[in-house]
Amino acid sequence: MPDAFTTRILNIATGTDETVTDLTHLCEQFLRETAAGRDGLLHIFVPHATAGVAVIETGAGSDDDLLAALHTLLPADNRWQHRHGSPGHGRDHVLPALVPPHATLPVIAGRLELGTWQSVCLVDTNTDNPDRKVRLSFLG
């Protein structure tokens, strides 16, 4: 029987623009290699103080809408107490309170159980850090 707990670190280049990066295909690939048809849970964790994980629709504008909403809620200006990095970088440190750095999703028969239009996404507004790590863990 395969291990009940398996984990892997992904290295994701998000670049120097604010971005919503779809990780769904990488999550599905990880499960094909590790879940072996079992039921369980997929946990996605971003070990960064300025990034988060969202389950949203992509490709129809929702990813851009999310970034626009974050601009409204967390303007990139000098109001923030946290003041190193780019102007307004303090807001990036508030982001994980609104877009948490983790998500736990059901896996049924080795497949990620998402709704029709749902995708697993890395949300990164920190233009100072173009390289991110994402930990995928399967418990089943």
Delimit the domains of the chain by residue range. Answer: 5-139
Q: What is the pTM of this model?
A: 0.94
pLDDT, tens digit (0-9, with 9 covering 90-100), for 48-57: 999 999 999 9
Q: First and final CA of the chain: distance in angstroms?
A: 11
Mean pLDDT of the chain: 94
Structure tokens at 68: 């626009």
DSSP class of 47: -
> What pLDDT was estimated at residue 3?
73
Q: Domain 5-139 sits in which CATH superfamily?
A: YjbQ-like (2.60.120.460)
- What is the rounded CA–CA span in Å between residue 19 and residue 92? 12
> What pLDDT was estimated at residue 2?
57
pLDDT reading at 140 higher than 90: yes
